[in-house]
Chain A
Amino acid sequence: MRNSLVFRAIVRRELISAMRRNAEVINPLWFVLIVVTLFPIALGPEPQLLAKVAPGVFWVTAILSCLLSLERLFRDDFSDGSLEQMLMSSHSLVGIALAKVFAHWLLTGIPLLLISPLVAVLLSMEWQVYKACFLTLAIGTPVLSLIGAVGVALTVGLRKGGVLLSLLVLPLYIPILIFATSAIESAAFSLPYDGPLAIMAAILALCASLCPFAISAALRVSLN
């Protein structure tokens, strides 16, 4: 099989298995909505205050929900042995890793973008802020999946990898968070924000080209 066919086959398989257990897709979205609800209750419901903290709240919530869904990226395939089969097949593990990460993004990033208008309404975001928030999330969520996959690949062989995973991955998320918030901040003052967006796109390109290699190296270690 050619590599593109393998890529498509794996993405298809991931989507089918996720659709059969759709709670795994929906639960992170519930989580986002519930956490977003907690903030107005904790900080007070004034719209000005909420509008000021909204983009940061949304981004942090997105990162946390991504962490929640990361584990299923390799965990099930690891425990039923299909990951080992993929490793032993003649296809490049790098391509397989990229396909799995892409499927993960389709199942977590895209739904997050779809419910983002709802979050924007709940947190009384303005239109231009919401637009910037949407764009940064569209560029940023693939980065979250890519970097997170490296962490999952490193911890998949461990019995209690969950907390460790977040400790490994969260520091690496900081740059993308910084550029996202600075883009949104510029948008709030109606300034141009294509600079930070371009840097985020550059980070995405860097991660998309390097992370699959790190993921495959880490999987080889974890499967030993």
Chain B
Amino acid sequence: MWKWLHPWAKPEKSYALAGTLLPWFSWLALLAISVGSVWGLAYAPADYQQGDSFRIIYLHVPSAMLSMGGYLSMAIAALVGLVWQIRQADMYVAATAPVGAVFTFIALITGAAWGKPMWGAWWVWDARLTSELILLFLYLGVIGLYNAFSDKVMAGRAAGILSIVGVINLPIIHYSVEWWNTLHQGATISKFDKPSMDTSMLWPLLINIVGYGALLGAVSLYRFRTELIKRERQRPWVKAMVTAKVSGGV
């Protein structure tokens, strides 16, 4: 497997690979999000208790899930970067942190917008809300630490170490906060044997989760490519590529 995997650690190869994957992720995201959102917002039946305001879950649940998934992927990349000293892994950490932070922010905002009519308050100090807020702080810490260094190689490594420390803490924070106070409903769709949600509502949600995952991947890939080009701008392959682009385009 190493023989197969190792050539991709060369910057030009990983740049090209990211470029090949980018359209797939983008189109999958566009397709799945439009199908899932139109189906969920327009055609799925209204909830018998919450009426139409339940429809915010088609935005809220995917972004909340992907905010955690994004952090996990960031920490895995950081571990890869730390163990095998692959620099692109650190670039992925830097590329994906702001995207994950935005997903976390969307989850918090949509949750607040739903909480106002349902619980009667924009914000309550409930377990899941609190741990999502702490997740946002952890993301902001990684971004802040990365931006504080002027040497971006050092910055990537430091941000990587911080995200690994954060991911070890995340379950501890999650369970401690859960124990502390809870009002949020339990998991709805992870109970695969018998979901507590009708399939006509569930399908668009699942499609949207796939779509948001692809969106996270697409934006991260795009940012990863930009980061790579920025850091490698002195290297011959970047110059060759740019010259080819310019002479081909004019």
A interface residues with partner B (beta carbon < 8 Å): 150, 154-155, 157-158, 160-161, 164, 167-168, 170-172, 174-175, 178-179, 182, 203, 210, 214, 217-218, 221-222, 224
Q: Which 9 A-B pairs have the closest CB atoms?
A: A175-B176, A171-B137, A168-B141, A221-B157, A178-B176, A175-B172, A178-B180, A171-B134, A154-B158
Q: Are B138 and A171 in contact (CB under 8 A)?
A: yes
B interface residues with partner A (beta carbon < 8 Å): 82, 134, 137-138, 140-141, 144-145, 148-149, 151, 154, 157-158, 161-162, 164-166, 168-169, 172-173, 176-177, 179-180
Minimum distance in angstroms from A103 CB to a CB of chain B: 22
Docked CA distance A178–B141 (Å):
21
Contacts of B149 in A (CB 8 A): 157-158
Q: Are A161 and B138 in contact (CB under 8 A)?
A: no
Q: Are B173 and A174 in contact (CB under 8 A)?
A: yes
Contacts of B137 in A (CB 8 A): 167, 170-171
Give B181's nearest chain A residue, CB to CB: A178
Interface on chain B toward A: helix, strand, loop, or mixed SS? helix
Q: Are B144 and A168 in contact (CB under 8 A)?
A: yes
Docked CA distance A129–B130 (Å):
26
Among B82, B162, B165, max chain A CB count under 10 A is at: B165
The answer to whether A150 and B165 touch (CB under 8 A), given A174-B134, A218-B158, is yes
Docked CA distance A142–B96 (Å):
33
Give B139's nearest chain A residue, CB to CB: A171
Docked CA distance A167–B148 (Å):
12
Q: Are B148 and A164 in contact (CB under 8 A)?
A: yes
17 A-B pairs in the complex with CB atoms less than 8 angstroms apart:
A150-B161, A154-B158, A157-B154, A160-B148, A167-B137, A171-B166, A171-B173, A172-B165, A172-B166, A174-B176, A175-B176, A178-B176, A178-B179, A203-B172, A214-B164, A218-B161, A224-B151
Docked CA distance A179–B157 (Å):
32
Q: Are A168 and B177 in contact (CB under 8 A)?
A: no
Contacts of A171 in B (CB 8 A): 134, 137-138, 141, 166, 169, 173
The answer to whether A154 and B134 touch (CB under 8 A), given A175-B169, A214-B165, A217-B82, is no
Contacts of B141 in A (CB 8 A): 167-168, 171
Docked CA distance A60–B172 (Å):
19
Extra contacts besides A154-B161, A171-B169 (9): CB < 8 Å:
A164-B144, A167-B144, A168-B141, A168-B162, A174-B176, A175-B173, A179-B176, A221-B158, A222-B154
Q: Are B161 and A214 in contact (CB under 8 A)?
A: yes
Q: Are A210 and B168 in contact (CB under 8 A)?
A: yes
Contacts of A155 in B (CB 8 A): 145, 148
Docked CA distance A172–B158 (Å):
16
The answer to whether A167 and B140 touch (CB under 8 A), given A157-B154, A174-B134, A222-B158, is yes
Q: Are A224 and B154 in contact (CB under 8 A)?
A: yes
Contacts of A157 in B (CB 8 A): 149, 154
Contacts of A214 in B (CB 8 A): 161, 164-165
Contacts of A160 in B (CB 8 A): 148
Docked CA distance A214–B144 (Å):
19
Q: Are B176 and A158 in contact (CB under 8 A)?
A: no
Give B172's nearest chain A residue, CB to CB: A175
